[in-house]
Structure 1
Amino acid sequence: MMWKKGIALLFGVMLMTMGLAFSGVSAASASQGSSVTVILVSDNAADSALAKYIANLTGAFVVTTPWGVYTPNVTAEIMAYAPDQVIIIGGPAAVPEQYVSDLKELNITVERWWGKNRYGTDVAVIGNATVKLHLKFNGSAVIAPGNDSAAIMEAFMKAIKCHGVIIYANATTDPVRIMGRLRIRPSNITVVYTPVTKGATIRVLERLQLGSSMRVEKVSVNVTREMALDAIATAKERVAYAEKLLANATLKPREKLMVEKTLNESEKLLQRAEEALNNGQYGKAYGLAIAAEAHADFAVRIASEGWQARLRVDPGMGLRMGLVRIEAQLMIMQKAGINVTQIKPLVEKLEEAIKEGNYGLARSLMKQIRFELMKLYATEKLKFRDHIVFPLGGKHGNKHEKP
């Protein structure tokens, strides 16, 4: 049906891609008695690096959603781990609140670690990981600009190697104050940056030198063509999401104009980035792409709010969204060997009711299906454990072994 294709394209994920949680395994199967934690995070470089770092230390599984975009397939992917708890890294603008509703409906414990921006989220994640997960970091800290994906990746690798704390900083950040708030006193600090963020990094270094006598190492990451290409691709993806959301959003004329202008600016920056790339100016191309992504993120946030506003008032759209979510969940359950035949006839009736515009019947069927699905998941979810692998051959929650 055309509306299904439209919804799938909006999210950039087709239903046929489900089952990601069952792929790429290489160790012994997970024990059904083990505890499973899933970290849900957006594909924002800063938040994503934190999620992967915490997962590396604890054995949690990471599931990623496009920044600012609700994708029903993601809920199904989380289900495939039969998690005991889900930790969301990032605020509602990054990881929409709809995920919380989805997971709580399945009786999965959910908590969100976040701050008002990526810098506040960083502090919240490190603080919660220390208190709630009982993680202990050694005497090292790795500092990187929060908007510099190449520097963030380098900082992530260094943090894994030294088991240090990752701190994001910009021109106004006081890293000494942050370390005091986190109650950490590192003896070694590594500051990672690229030429694009060198100016802001100099100010961070000045504050470190004024506030501490600790040893500080500077690492400048050279921007390669591949890094510039990745940054351009990421920015283009953000623009595409914003455009798809905008086409289905309910916005005030002023808000719509603001999004359109922001996206137009992103397109201009991307055009300049590609010109710089073709001229061999990789650092310049990378910087322009980062700026384009920042503009696109703003557009995604506003358009996503408008899309969610329409979802709340458009019964047909809300029901179609619910149908896509249910079909994704049933598909992932079926792949795990769970018998869903009793629910499928109800889904067919739901699809027909939506097609005919009989929304009263559709809402009644939706409620019945969600109840049956929740009940089936509660009784059969441990079958998912036969398809997943714990990091250390069955024991979840420990630090990964070094490769």
Structure 2
Amino acid sequence: MMGKKVLAILFGLLMVATSVTFSNVSASTSVTVILVSDNAADKAIAEYLANVTGAVVVTTTWGVYDPNVTAEIMSYAPNEVIIIGGPDAVVDESVADLEELGITVERWGGQNRYETNIQVMEKAMEKFGLKFNESVIVAGNDSLAIKNALQIAVQNRAMVLYVNKTTNVTKLMERFQIMEAVAFGSPASKKLMEHVREQLRECNCTAREVQANITKETVLQLMTQVRERVRTIEEIANETNCTQLMQQVRVMEMTMEKANQALQAGNYTYAYQLMLELQVRTQFGLKAANGEMRKMLGNSEKMALEREMVKLQAQISVMERAGINVTEINALMEQLRVAIQNGQYEQARQLMNQIKAMVREAYQNGKEALRNNPPAKSSAGRKH
């Protein structure tokens, strides 16, 4: 069987890293699911779109393939899935899984969060006919500012625009033809917001500034997310025996400890800045970890088959809970387990293809049952 640590990662990601924003879903409505990583910037604009369109948001760990994600999306029987973020954020394996089931997938993503932000705003206006009254300009790497900016954007039906020190704010405002703005920052993005203020004056835009306060709770919330990311990287590093990843984990842990010391000393801004830096570093670490996992699976047919089996079992369980008859599929799954265990990989591949075809057919025919039995709310999700 697949190594215990890898199985723990595959099953654990669903419980720890995947969260769902719930909407009222009925069999008669058109359902759009937005799949997004836990990157604060991408996730905020996904939640914004969910608020104004009624879409359902499914969140997965940045840069890591989770075979359980497709099952979560299946449970809503969506008409389409919009992925926010590039393939580094939401990996291509997730796209392949969805298309395998016959689910229409569209990706809105650029090379970074700033390109993704602009693309999402433009496509949202085109696809959903959204019109914006003003813009909310916020530092794209300031999680606290982004979280608070999201609230104002929803309240005022404002366009969310992420900026950094190289952004030409004047051109950005002209591009979207919005001359009223709210500039949102925190003590961690003070210098950047001064740059924004100057450029807003140049474009003769009407602007007001809002600053979020960094508290102990703010830092602790960010620490929780980063700690989970570091733990995921460490688990994959141990399973793949990747020395470079292990070294990265040690350095990250030292930064975590440094931030914790600053937090205990009451220096919340410095602790927060350290966590923002670490948040970016974990993304590079997660990307590398996923690459190592791909290599390991590429060198082990048994482990690759077992990961596919984990994915299929999650999908079958979703349909079973909705009352869809999967008896024949479960019987084949048992044969698949035996074939993999006995090293009969050719037979296992044939069974796998047969099961995938049956799962796709059962899903396509069982959409009404899935929509009539939406997943129960969990502590990971919240309802708009």
TM-score, reference length from structure 1: 0.88
> Counterparts in 2 of 1:275-286, with a 5 A limit?
275-286=261-272
**Residue of structure 2 equivalent to 1:13:** 12
**Residue of structure 1 equivalent to 2:255:** 269
2:238 is equivalent to residue 221 of structure 1? no
CA distance in 2, matches of 1:95, 1:293: 16
Query: 1:310–1:272: structure 2 CA closer, same or farther, 3 Å change rule?
Result: same
Q: Aligned partner of 2:312: which letter?
A: I
Q: Please, which of 112, 115, 123 is the counterpart of residue 117 of structure 1?
A: 112
Q: Aligned partner of 2:2: which letter?
A: W
Q: Please, which of 104, 109, 129 is the counterpart of residue 134 of structure 1?
A: 129
**Residue of structure 2 equivalent to 1:176:** 170
Query: 1:20–1:341: structure 2 CA closer, same or farther, 3 Å change rule?
Result: farther
CA distance in 2, matches of 1:24, 1:127: 25
Q: Please, which of 190, 198, 204 is the counterpart of residue 182 of structure 2?
A: 190
1:250: Cα distance to partner? 8.6
CA distance in 1, matches of 2:22, 2:35: 19
Q: Aligned partner of 2:193: which letter?
A: T
1:318: Cα distance to partner? 1.1
CA distance in 1, matches of 2:201, 2:33: 39
Q: Aligned partner of 2:195: which letter?
A: R
- Partner SS state of residue 87, structure 1: strand
CA distance in 2, matches of 1:175, 1:239: 34
**Residue of structure 2 equivalent to 1:232:** 223
Q: Please, which of 357, 375, 397 is the counterpart of residue 343 of structure 2?
A: 357
Deviations 1:226-248 (A, max 9, x none): 00101111211121122223334
**Residue of structure 1 equivalent to 2:380:** none
% identical equivalent positions: 39
CA distance in 1, matches of 2:10, 2:149: 30
1:16: Cα distance to partner? 8.1
- Partner SS state of residue 71, structure 1: coil
CA distance in 1, matches of 2:159, 2:320: 41
Given that 2:47 and 2:57 are in contact with CA atoms closer than 8 Å, whether structure 1 keeps it comes out as yes
2:32 is equivalent to residue 42 of structure 1? no
CA distance in 1, matches of 2:53, 2:47: 10
CA distance in 2, matches of 1:219, 1:261: 40
CA distance in 2, matches of 1:371, 1:110: 19
Given that 1:145 and 1:151 are in contact with CA atoms closer than 8 Å, whether structure 2 keeps it comes out as yes
CA distance in 2, matches of 1:201, 1:225: 23
CA distance in 1, matches of 2:141, 2:91: 21
Q: Please, which of 356, 370, 373 is the counterpart of residue 370 of structure 1?
A: 356
- Partner SS state of residue 69, structure 1: coil
Given that 1:250 and 1:309 are in contact with CA atoms closer than 8 Å, whether structure 2 keeps it comes out as no
2:291 is equivalent to residue 305 of structure 1? yes
Given that 2:13 and 2:66 are in contact with CA atoms closer than 8 Å, whether structure 1 keeps it comes out as no
1:180: Cα distance to partner? 2.7
1:137: Cα distance to partner? 1.1
**Residue of structure 2 equivalent to 1:63:** 58
Deviations 1:80-131 (A, max 9, x none): 0000100000011110101111111111100100010000000010011011
Q: Which runs of 4+ in 1 moved over 6 A?
A: 14-17
**Residue of structure 2 equivalent to 1:101:** 96
- Partner SS state of residue 357, structure 1: coil
Given that 2:229 and 2:282 are in contact with CA atoms closer than 8 Å, whether structure 1 keeps it comes out as yes
- Partner SS state of residue 339, structure 1: coil
**Residue of structure 2 equivalent to 1:167:** 161
- Partner SS state of residue 57, structure 2: strand
Q: Which runs of 5+ in 1 are unaligned?
A: 390-400
Query: 1:271–1:15: structure 2 CA closer, same or farther, 3 Å change rule?
Result: closer
- Partner SS state of residue 137, structure 1: coil
CA distance in 2, matches of 1:378, 1:282: 51
Task: Say which is worse superposed, 335-344 or 231-240, in terms of deviation.
Answer: 231-240
Given that 1:4 and 1:324 are in contact with CA atoms closer than 8 Å, whether structure 2 keeps it comes out as no
1:15: Cα distance to partner? 7.1
**Residue of structure 2 equivalent to 1:395:** none
2:45 is equivalent to residue 53 of structure 1? no
Task: Say which is worse superposed, 268-277 or 309-318, in terms of deviation.
Answer: 309-318
**Residue of structure 1 equivalent to 2:199:** 207
Q: Which runs of 5+ in 2 are unaligned?
A: 376-382
**Residue of structure 1 equivalent to 2:379:** none
> Counterparts in 2 of 1:319-334, with a 5 A limit?
319-334=305-320
Given that 2:6 and 2:239 are in contact with CA atoms closer than 8 Å, whether structure 1 keeps it comes out as no
**Residue of structure 2 equivalent to 1:242:** 233
Given that 1:336 and 1:384 are in contact with CA atoms closer than 8 Å, whether structure 2 keeps it comes out as yes
Given that 2:35 and 2:81 are in contact with CA atoms closer than 8 Å, whether structure 1 keeps it comes out as yes
CA distance in 2, matches of 1:20, 1:293: 18
Given that 1:8 and 1:15 are in contact with CA atoms closer than 8 Å, whether structure 2 keeps it comes out as no
Query: 1:6–1:261: structure 2 CA closer, same or farther, 3 Å change rule?
Result: closer
Query: 1:324–1:33: structure 2 CA closer, same or farther, 3 Å change rule?
Result: same
